[in-house]
Structure formats: structure tokens, C-alpha cells
Structure 1
């Protein structure tokens, strides 16, 4: 009797497939079987690439003469501790009664690789029909849809090629570069640290690049020199209210484009600020003990210091709900809000996925597909069973706001590769009682972000005024929230982490920022004082307002921020750029370092091998001395490994293979040429003495 075989990536997923298929047969050792079907599983990877000594026992000994190591054909082997399960799966794949195989491993490059290796090592006959199940959640209806719409496995051959190449790339770079650098510089590093235990220099395509990002940021912080600056503020009085206006050297100002300025709203020297105040004050102001300059009261011979209204700009601003979460965005948010690591966030989201509560977590997309948008009311309807958001889900369903979602920026098929954004399924709410507090909090922010896209934009009233005191210009603005829109569900505090209309990119973090809100955060002028807003609204061009005081406000530049675990994941996603603005992130999507499935694991490894330090309380990441020494070694030998753009280009190349734009042969030729040239370059170097001097300088920054 012929049977269909369903092979999942892990036992828990296999159980869900068995439930969906109504397979009520006996659970055997490593599989579940009924009269019509068999469900089995891997336990993650069952097969791995063999070490060089499997090709030649002589390669077990590390030697420069054996490098570069570029095998013509790669060897693989069964992972010893899962050999029993491999043999069970192998037997089922080749069983005479099995005529159709449904591949149900995770829907992505890594899941594809896990199955293809098993099929390869099990020598499965290609005469059997093989179909690929591709799903976005583990709900029963999604599993059945995936089975019903399963494509021939051959439709995913390009993805399989990319998966093999990714593994081969990591293998070749890891084996060749780690051996070459260890043989060349390992003793120097070990002797410098007085290390009793010998260890290899660990190098990897993605891992070393991430190490470089952290070390470079640490050096920027370390070498940063604070710069003081002095801002001039005018205290303006109108209708028994006071507010501050800030001097800016715009066109028409005596100080416009002069070297006296730090940016356009501060002076490099306090004396310059004092001089400006004296110039525009009539009468000469009195210097108070607190540093403020108070305008003297007018007399018959002296005029009060007035600020003339030059311009009043009134406008309404809208802030749209942020895009949905992908894994990197969620990891960044959880690091900031809950102080948990990216790895912990992934584990939590994976648990929610396996409990059918959210969709597939390892995704780079932040939008929905057109197909999902058509059925999205089911997800919303299900969330009416969640007390915290019942009223919001009901409001969406009653208003029908979900009906037009397909025409918004939250639905875009072209921005989806394997999976759409992480959203709640609306199912599995009975599992809430079994979740810990942190997991519930993560689930809730996913739910709230999802529901927020069905609410209107938040609306603000903003008034900006330009004042002129003598020959100089001062500026003030107020911003008040008029309509909550989506903020009533996502929360105003949470929205600050996800500005869609901000202008903060990596430049601010890289070059340092200014204390005292030098650049003017858009929330710094936000007010709840309706009477003050009414005064601003009533101002007209030509009106004169009383100037009560002129102040010098001192500030200083602050060093760049160190990465935390979440911001580092975002920087990896965006080719080494920590870009806070989500619109800019969308523009360069697809140029990342690593993948959503591997970034947390890479960070974990760097911490485990003592290259990086992760503060568990703050999630701040900094290099350890060993990590910075390794950075110095790589920078002086294979510097290109530290280049985020180059590392991202390799990932882009794998995407091209997946999409059929280049062949695996073309990619392999480029890869092997890169590895061979860099290994030869290391062999020809003679820079150990220079490195020793650099090591001493590095060590001075660490306690020994």
C-alpha cells in the first residue's frame, strides 16, 4: 500500500502536521504512522560537512603548505549524536511503500539545506515524487494549505544551490583563514596574553565583520574628544506666559557661515556668545549670578528689548503607524524594552510560533502579502479573545478598517522573499497561561504593532515662529497631539522607538551627538499646555514680544553610542549602518550581513569565544582584549574581511543564486579565487613586529 511521507525539521512541528492531517496512528520511535501516511522529523541538522582530515589524514596537522584548501568535491558525514534519527529517516525515505515525500522543514534557505543533506546522504531515489511544503505559521489551516499547494521540490533547486554555497563559503573562509592566521600570528597573540591554553584564531565571513563593527565603534568612543558649545536662548514673555526661543545663524545674521559657530545654533567660545548678547541688547543687560543676562527695565531714555515676530508657520503633521516587525526589528525592540538578547528574543518568538500564536519568525520582511491581506480579518477576529486588546480588535472589525489594508504601504509583495512580517495568528490563545511573563510581553508588542496598522495616523498641531531681536534671529516651536490615532494602542512612548519620519541615521551615532538637545529632537517641543499653544496660534507677523532674559546655555558633544545587542542586529541587517529611520532601512533592504536566522547565533559565538562582552543587564556590547587583538591581526592581513559592504555583497550574491540570476559555478569561481588570493597574501606578510607594538597600545585600554 502506497503512503505519503511528511518530514519536518523537529519533533514539535511534526506533531502539528500529524494533528492537522488527523493522523491518529501509533507514535513510533522517531515517527508517527497511520494506514495512509507517515510523519517523521529531523532534530535540526543531521548531516554536516567533513573536516579536511576526512579528505586526507595528513590535513589534520595544520600547515601553511596545505593552504589554500579548496576541495573539488565536498564530503559530508552524519552527526554522531543524531545518527539514530538519521537512520530512521533514511529508512522511511527509502521505504518501498513511500511513493510521495512532502518536505516540511522550515520554509527558508536553512530548512532547505537540512532536508537536501539528508536526502543526499540517504541516497533517496529521484523516482519518488517529492513536493515542498512552504508555510508561514503552524495553524491547521496554514499547514493544510501548504500541503495542498506544495510545489515540486525541483522548484526550489536554486534555493538549495544557495544553501550549499553559503555553507561552503563559511567552510572555506573558516578553514583557510583561521588556519593561515593561527599559523602566522597565533603564537604572537598567545605569548602576548601569557595564555596557558593554546587556542586558534577563529575567523569567519560574517563573524569577523561583526567583530570589526564593534571594535571600530569602541575605538571611536575611546578616541572621542568632547567639544563644548554655547547656545544663546531668549526668554520671551506674552500674555503672562514665558517660553524660550533659540538663536540660529541663518542667512541675514551677522554670524552666518562664520568660523565662530559650532553648527548654526551655537558658538565655539563663550566669549562669542557674550559678545553677541551685548550687541543685540539695548540697554546693556545685567549679568546675574546664574549666568543669565537680564534685560534692564526701560526708562524714558531706554527702550525695552523687543522680539519682533517675523514668521508664523502653522501646520498639521501626521505620523503613520510603523511597519510590522521582522526579526531584526523585534530583536532591537526587545533589547531596548526588556533588556533581553537577540538570541532570547528568537527563542521566545520561536516558542510563540510553535504554539501557533505568531507567524514564522525568521523573516526579513516588514509587510504582508496580498494573499494574506485578503484573509487578515481572521487574525483580527481571533484577537478579540485577548483581554488586553479586545476593544481595539472589535473596533477594527466594526469599522471595517481592515478592508482597505491591501492598498497601503503595509502590503507589498515585492518586498517579500520567503516570508511576510511577524504577526499574530489570532489562534493559540489557550497557551497564554503556560507562557512566562517576558514571553507574554513580547507577544503583546507583536499584537499591538499588528493592530496599529489598521488605525489612522496620529495627528499633531505644530506652530513654529521666527523672531528677530535687533539683527539676529531666534526660533521657537510647539507641537501638540490632537488625535491619538494608532498611538492609543501602541503607546506614545513605544512609538518614539519607531519614528517613520525622523532623520537619525548612523552618522549621528558614528560622529557623536550633542548634549542639551543640540539638534532638536522632534519630541522636545511637544507640549500639553493648551493655553501656550493658543498664544502661539494667535501670534501675527509684525507683533512685538517682550524679551525678559538672554541666556547662555552650555552644552558639549557626547561620544558615539556603543552598540547594544539589538542595535547591532539592526546594523548587521543594514550592511553595518545603524539606521534608525525605518524608511531608509527599507531603501537598502537586501544588503545585510548574515541572515535573520543566523545573526543572533553569530553574536552568541563571539561572546562565547571571548571576543566580545555582552552586559546582560544593559545589553551593551564591547570588545574584550582578545577580540581587539584578533581585529588588529585581521586588519593587518585580510582587511577586506572587516568590510561590511563586502560581506553584504557575498550575501547579495547568494540571493542572486537563489533567484537564478547567476549560476552556482560562477559564484564558486569567485569564492575560490577570493580565498586563494587572501591566503597567499598572508603567507607573504612579515609584520609581526609591528603587530606587537600595536598589541601594547591596545592592552593599555584594558585591565590586565
Structure 2
């Protein structure tokens, strides 16, 4: 009996349907010689600091750095039931082999291996590696299951990523939160991404608009432009010299050029395009694409490749023709061709090939899809049609005109063969939201060298230099992707901040924690984010350094660097960070004043974030407003017990997590009793439970 473990319920059920496992049980399906279950995402992860030492539940500088010698894992409280199901299945005597069918990528490998090891499983392990949820792809995948050991490097890289994020995130967040008396969320990738945003805003603020002047000649039907001048007087001198004077064509250069079709989408380029066209966030695009993948309408989302493997070439023409039948604006309006050689290259496909629609689109009711999913599916399908189409050919003409010793120039373009751009234009015309088009030169009249114009009209065109633009998700994703690498040919290996699979989550966390604000399509650093970057050392906010770490994770994956060496580097950096920042920078303390209304000595330390808890009229509240922790004076527990939550009781609850109280009233019995009141904080709600001492019911 083989046990198949998928990442999600929906994927597990799709696999079970193909394998014939139809018998439903609690948390799994069975049949055809298979057991099929699922992980519900991350069932388990690295344990919190308190698991290593209970004293770590308080945030103190003296405890830093926290550097686990033996890493521990914890199962999420809300996921314990499914973990127990998986552990029970792994221990069944009739299970001889376990198949990892989690998403075929770094995180999917980590999700499976963590559960496998926590369950104490040692049974043979195989790997299902597929890029599509189509039935045929699933069957092919099971026909070619790989030994699990082939993916050990992928697991090591995933584990190193998780441990590095823990080390930097836990220690840096606690360190600077304690130093500056409020929670400052810091992340290995999140913080350098925030630094990019802050740097861009500084560039915009420092920008000084500068005018420039361009002399122009109207030659009766077309305009030629001179060189840009910094001073108006120089441009006016040229204008005055040329106005009403004769001009002559000194050069006509015509060159035929062509533009190759765009490449297929990887996740990042699709997210960028969807942001430009539809205003979708990176997370929305990923969510829509993930849903299409699970509905078998698109291939695996989290890919960094823009090519297909060469064995896919034979099936492309059929898929291309099918896509042409569903993409708005294409059917019957643009000729469709398929040059598979443009998009197939084994050497440029890593874990997964580029994103494609699947043949299931021919049977699907696309009109019934949510609009966001439909937009993404059409975008992916339209890009496929363009990527395999003929090249766009055009003639570019550059005309030079001389007048009174000055040279002027104009460019013109004539389309010779529309090729892929005809398809692209037809599709985009059908979009409700059209992108801003880049202005292209219009065609020029027929001109010959030596052609004269008797009296041209001269003018001066004034313009201004423009500041850098605010980041949008489109442009920020590009900056994240190329951070740490040269601005290069696309084929050059990129280092980058994060991975295609993680960038959307990073942007969402920046917004959720209040460090960044969304304004229409723009991403702008909030005051809190700007202040945070001001106090942090370069090592935490350097995009170059973090991109280098991401590159080294790839080396771990490929066996070019040991996991011990990588984590050793992160550990040394973390220890140095704590050592070098033993006190706050007093010049920056003004950036983090105590919250309005707080006064006097704190009642205690917030168990959630380490900030001070202060006394208010209705509660003892965390001064970090983003935290939300509070002990309410008139909570249901204390009101029903007919006890007052005093400052002294609150202080003891915060310090020890419990307080012994007498005279507690029981509404059921009408009597009073003594008990230990234990503080239980879920991270979202504050609850209390009772522990009775011997002879405590008095």
C-alpha cells in the first residue's frame, strides 16, 4: 500500500480521483492500493523561542542572541488533528512506501519532510514531480516517481531558508523592539525590500526639476528636432537663425529591423503584467493562478522559468490552436502560427517550465470563472499565442536635416509585417483595462538626400526633467528580482530578493504590519517604515547582501555549499548584530516616542511583543498599537467573579502569567472560592483559566 501525501485537500482529492481512491475516511481517501491524504499547508514549523526556554516568553536584551543548538519543530494547534491522521497512516503496517505529492518546489519539499520526520517515519520515500494537475500529467508523474533522496538538496535549502528567517527575524525584531521600546518587525527579505522603497522616496524628495529646451523645425508635414539645450537663450538663438530660412535633407537612412516575440510568463513577469493591466496585487495574481492550477486550467504557478522543455514541442500546436479559440479579440481576427523552437530550451528550465494554459480549457465553462481568474487565464493564453508567433518586422527611417549650420533629426517607423504584435494588439484591444502605450514614431513621408525646403518654421519646445517614479508592485517586483545582480541579459543568473514563490507574501506582510501603504497602484513607505530603516544597520537593510544569501541558498540546493556553512554565516551575522547594537542610538529615540496618553511607570511587559503595558481607564494596554494586547478591567471573567482587576493583579499576571486570588464568586453555587487565575493569550484573544489549590474551594 502506498501512502500519497499532498499539500492541500483539493490537490489530494484530484490525485485520489485519478488513482481510484474513492473511499472517504476522516482526513484521507483510500482505494486502488493507495491511501491519499494531505498536509493542509504548513502543518508544522520551527518552534517559538519559548520552546527552548520558558524565560524567552519575555523580551530581554540579555537573552540575545537566541541561537538554538538543536532545532525544534511544533505542530500548529489548529492542525494537530490532521497531523495525527498522517502519523497514524505512516505507521500502518500495510503502508510500504510514502509518496511526497506536495507542491513541486522548495516549500512543498519542506512541508512534507517536516511532517515525515516529526512522525518518526523511516519508510521508503518517493517524489511526485508534476507541473500540471491534468489527469494525464498526474498519471505520467506516477509512472515516473523519483527517489525522494534526489531532492535532499532542495529540502536542505528550504530548511536553511526557514532557519535563517527565524534567526534574523526573531533576534533582530526582539533586539530593536527592546532598544526602541516598541515592536519593530524585521525580516531577512522584508526589511531590504522596505529599504528599496524608502530609498526611492528619498530620491524623489531630493529631486530638483530642471528645464530643458529643444529647437524644432516644421518642414511642412513632419517635424525635426535639434539637440537638447540647457539654456533657453541657446535654443532661442538656434530658432532665430533658422526661422524662415531654407533647410536641406542631408541624410536618409532606412534600416529594416525585427522584434522577436516576448517570452512566456514565469510567475514574476505574470504578476508584473497583471499589476500593469488590471491593478492586481502580486498576491492576488498568485492566488488566482493557484486556483486555476487546482482547477487543471493552468500549469504550476511558482516557476522562475520562461521556457518549455523540448519534449513539449510536439504538443504545442494543438494547445496554441485551442488557446486561440478562447482568448478575447483573437479568434478570426489574427493569424496564429506556432514556432515551438522559440520557447523550448531544456537548459533554461529549472524545476518547472513556464506558465501555460492546459488543454482542459476546451471543456471548461470559462464564463463561470471568477473574473480575476478569467483575466489571468486569458493573459497566460494570450502570451502563449504571442510567444510562438512570427517576428514583428518594420522599417526604421532616420532623417537628418541641416539648417544654418545646425542639425535636426526625425525618426519614422513603417510596419512591414505585424507578426506577434498583431495578436498582442488584438487581445489588448479586447481588454477592459488597457495599458499605457509607449509612443512609437509615426511613418515619415518619402524623402531623399538633397531635398530642399524653402522656408521652414522654427520653434522651441520646453520640457522638464522628471523625478524617479514611485514604486508600483510591477516595478518593485522587478527591483526585487534583479537586486544583487548586474543589469544583464535575461539569461544571466539572477540573485534577487526572495523567490517567485515568496515575493507576494513579503509585500503583503509589509502592508499588513503598517510599514508600507498602498495608494492606488503605488507602494509607499509609511512613516513607521521610514523610521525603522533609519535606525537599522546596513547589514539588515542591504538588498545586495540579502540577494547574495538567496544565491547561496541555491548553492545549497545544488550541493555547492553545505547547510552547516550557510547557517554558520547567518549565526555569526546574528551574534554580531546583537553585540554591535547594545544600546539605542539616542539621535533616533525621538522617532519612537511613547504613545500618546501613556504616562508613569509601565505595569509590565507585553507577552506578545515585548513593549510596555500601561494603565488606562478601561484596561491595561500594550503601548504598541499594532499589537492589540490588553487586559480589560471589566472583562466577563472578572465581572462574573465579582473581582476588580487591579494594577497589582495585572502586574503579577504580566510577570508570572498567573496570580493566586481568594474571594472569587461562583454564579453557579453562589459561593466564593480561592484559585490560581492563569493568563492564556492566544495571540488574538486574552482568556483566563482556573487552577485550584488544595483546599482551594473556600
TM-score category, normalised to shorter length: 0.7 to 0.9
Shift of 1:130: 1.2
**Which moved further from structure 2: 306-315 or 129-138?**
306-315
Deviation per CA, 1:663-687, whole angstroms, max 9, x where unpaired?
111112212111111221112x552
For residues 492-511 of structure 1, the aligned pairs below 5 Å read none
- Match in the other structure for 1:222: 205
Provide the C-alpha distance between the structure 1 equivalents of 2:224 and 2:329, rounded to a whole number of angstroms: 42
SS at match of 1:613: strand
Is residue 570–residue 578 contact of structure 1 (8 Å, CA) maintained in 2? no
RMSD: 2.3
Is residue 327–residue 427 contact of structure 2 (8 Å, CA) maintained in 1? no
Is residue 310–residue 344 contact of structure 2 (8 Å, CA) maintained in 1? yes
Q: Please say if 1:543 is aligned against 2:543.
A: no
Is residue 496–residue 550 contact of structure 2 (8 Å, CA) maintained in 1? yes
Shift of 1:585: 5.7
For residues 188-207 of structure 1, the aligned pairs below 5 Å read 199-207=182-190
Provide the C-alpha distance between the structure 2 equivalents of 1:32 and 1:526, rounded to a whole number of angstroms: 63
Distance 1:177 1:167, change over 3 A: same
Is residue 259–residue 392 contact of structure 2 (8 Å, CA) maintained in 1? yes
Shift of 1:437: 2.2
- Match in the other structure for 1:629: 531
- Match in the other structure for 2:585: 687
Shift of 1:67: 1.2
- Match in the other structure for 1:601: 505
Shift of 1:694: 7.0
- Match in the other structure for 2:375: 441
For residues 216-365 of structure 1, the aligned pairs below 5 Å read 216-237=199-220, 242-248=221-227, 266-278=228-240, 280-281=241-242, 294-295=243-244, 305-365=245-305
Q: Please say if 1:180 is aligned against 2:170.
A: no
For residues 416-455 of structure 1, the aligned pairs below 5 Å read 416-428=349-361, 429-455=363-389
Is residue 175–residue 578 contact of structure 2 (8 Å, CA) maintained in 1? yes
**If the length of structure 2 is used for normalisation, what is the TM-score?**
0.80
Deviation per CA, 1:287-310, whole angstroms, max 9, x where unpaired?
xxxxxxx52xxxxxxxxx222221
- Match in the other structure for 2:516: 612
Provide the C-alpha distance between the structure 2 equivalents of 1:173 and 1:462, rounded to a whole number of angstroms: 54
Provide the C-alpha distance between the structure 1 equivalents of 2:476 and 2:561, rounded to a whole number of angstroms: 30
Shift of 1:147: 1.2
Is residue 329–residue 426 contact of structure 2 (8 Å, CA) maintained in 1? no
Provide the C-alpha distance between the structure 1 equivalents of 2:135 and 2:68, rounded to a whole number of angstroms: 45
Is residue 132–residue 151 contact of structure 1 (8 Å, CA) maintained in 2? yes
SS at match of 2:411: strand
- Match in the other structure for 2:124: 129
- Match in the other structure for 1:507: none
Deviation per CA, 1:456-477, whole angstroms, max 9, x where unpaired?
1111122111111121110011
Give unpaired runs (5+ residues) of structure 2. 432-436, 594-698
2:410 maps to which of 454, 472, 476 = 476
Provide the C-alpha distance between the structure 1 equivalents of 2:275 and 2:131, rounded to a whole number of angstroms: 25
**If the length of structure 1 is used for normalisation, what is the TM-score?**
0.80
Is residue 43–residue 76 contact of structure 2 (8 Å, CA) maintained in 1? yes
Provide the C-alpha distance between the structure 2 equivalents of 1:340 and 1:51, rounded to a whole number of angstroms: 34
Q: Please say if 1:565 is aligned against 2:473.
A: yes
SS at match of 1:368: coil
Give unpaired runs (5+ residues) of structure 1. 188-198, 249-265, 282-293, 296-304, 498-520, 528-532, 697-704
Shift of 1:345: 0.7
Structure (1/2) with the larger helix percentage: 1
Deviation per CA, 1:588-643, whole angstroms, max 9, x where unpaired?
4431110111111111111011100012xx32110111111111111xxx212221
SS at match of 2:131: coil
- Match in the other structure for 1:149: 144
Q: Please say if 1:586 is aligned against 2:584.
A: no
SS at match of 1:33: strand
1:676 maps to which of 575, 578, 584 = 575
Report the number of matched residues.
586
Provide the C-alpha distance between the structure 2 equivalents of 1:434 and 1:104, rounded to a whole number of angstroms: 29
Q: Please say if 1:526 is aligned against 2:442.
A: yes
For residues 372-411 of structure 1, the aligned pairs below 5 Å read 372-383=312-323, 386=326, 388=328, 391=331, 396=336, 401-402=337-338, 404-406=339-341, 408=342, 410-411=343-344
